[in-house]
Amino acid sequence: MTRLSIERLEKRFDKVAAIRGVDLEVEEGELVSLLGPSGCGKTTTLRCVAGFEAPTAGEIRFDGEPVTRLPPEKRDIGMVFQNYALFPHMSVRENLAFGLEMRKVSPNDVATRLADVMSMVQLSGYDERFPRQLSGGQQQRVALARALVVEPRLLLLDEPLANLDAKLRDEMRFFIRSLQRRVGITTLYVTHDQAEAMVMSDRIVVMFDGLIHQVGDARTIYDHPATRQVASFIGSSNFFTGTVTGRDGALIRLDTSFGTVACGSGHEVTTGETATAMVRPETLELSPAGAEGGFSGTVGERHFLGNLTDYRVTMADGSVLQVQGSANAAFAPGEVVSVSLPAGRAWLVGEASA
C-alpha cells in the first residue's frame, strides 16, 4: 500500500499552462477522483503521476520517495486508459501476462495469478479470445485486470467508463469500487462525470483551469462548494450576490436585493464586503403567499420531472430562482408564492487561489 504525494506540481505545454500548482495527498488504500471539465488539467496530473508527462515543476512521491524523474516502466503502477489500450495482437491471456513477464514472474506464479485475476473480473474462460472479440464491458474488465494483476503500488484510471453505455457504466462503477476496496489499492481516478466521482470516491478533487478548487468528500463538495465553478459544475445551483452585514452565530447575514439571507461559509468574510452565495434548488421551499420568513415571488415556468417538479420563480428584484419541490405540491404559473430558505443551506462561495 502506497501513499501518493503531489507537491506544487506544474506543467506547461509550450506556453500554455495545463497545471498551475497542484498539491494533493492520497492516503493508503484511498480512492481519490480528479473531477473537472475537459482541459482542467486532471488528465495531465494523472499522466504526470504515471510518468508519461515530465512536470515543469514540482515533485511526485510514492511513500515519500521522489519518483518524478523515473520513467513510467520503473514506477510500478497499473493504469487503465479511456480506450482500454488493450494490445490488439495479443489474446486476453497474453495481455494479462505482459506485465508479469516484464517483472520476470515465474511461469507457475503467472498461471495462478492469471487464474485469480480472471475470476476476480469474471472473465474465466476468455483466455484465448482477442480484444476485438470482446464487448466493451469485457474489454474494460480485461484492462482493469491487466493493471491489477501486477499488484502495482498505485492504480491510475483515466476516464475508464467514458466509452461504455449508460447502463453498463452504472454497473461498472460499483464493480470497480468494490474491487478497489477488496484489493485495498491506492487509486487515482480521473473523470468528468460528477455522479461517477460521487459514487466511487473517498474524496473528490475538483479542478478548473489547472488549479484545484476543492478537495473533499461528495457531501462536502455538494453542500459546501468552495467556489462558484465547483457549485455550478456539480448539480444545479442558484447564485445571488449581496453585502455582508454581520453574523448570527456561525452564520453570516447577506443582504440581497430580495431580502436578507443567513449563509454558511467556509472562509472568512468582513462586514461590508460584497459576497456571492449559492443555494441548491431542492433546498428551497415553496409555500402559499404570505408564509412566515419567506421571500415573495411569482411562479414563472413549471415542469413536471417525474420524481419532482421544477419551478422558475421570479423574485421581487426581478432575479429568477430555480426551485425543485415534491411532484405533488402544485403551484400554478402566475401564482404568487413565498420562497423560504432553511438557515445555513445557502453557502458563500469564494474565489480559487493558486
Residues of this chain that interact with other proteins (CB under 8 A) are 50-52, 71-79, 81-83, 85-89, 98-99, 102-103, 143, 146-147, 150, 156
CB–CB of 10/20 below 8 Å?
A: yes
Q: Are strands 203-208 and 31-35 parallel, antiparallel or unpaired?
A: parallel
**Closest approach of other proteins to the CB of residue 126, in Å:** 18
**Closest approach of other proteins to the CB of residue 102, in Å:** 4
Question: What letter does residue 154 receive in the DSSP assignment?
Answer: E
> CB-based contacts of 8: which residues, under 8 Å, 6+ apart?
21, 22, 23, 57, 58, 59
Pick the closer one to other proteins by CB: 90 or 269.
90
Pick the closer one to other proteins by CB: 156 or 341.
156
Pick the closer one to other proteins by CB: 187 or 237.
187
Pick the closer one to other proteins by CB: 51 or 350.
51
**Closest approach of other proteins to the CB of residue 79, in Å:** 4
> CB-based contacts of 333: which residues, under 8 Å, 6+ apart?
299, 300, 301, 302
**Closest approach of other proteins to the CB of residue 207, in Å:** 21
**Closest approach of other proteins to the CB of residue 165, in Å:** 21
Residue 252 C-alpha from the chain's centroid? 28
Pick the closer one to other proteins by CB: 144 or 313.
144
Q: Strand, helix or coil at 253? A: strand
Question: What is the full DSSP assignment across 68-129?
Answer: TTS-GGGS-EEEE-TT----TTS-HHHHHHHHHHHTT--HHHHHHHHHHHHHHTT-TT-TT-
Pick the closer one to other proteins by CB: 103 or 181.
103
**Amino acid symbol at 256:** T
**Closest approach of other proteins to the CB of residue 192, in Å:** 17
Report the distance separating Cα 287 and Cα 94, nearest Å. Answer: 64
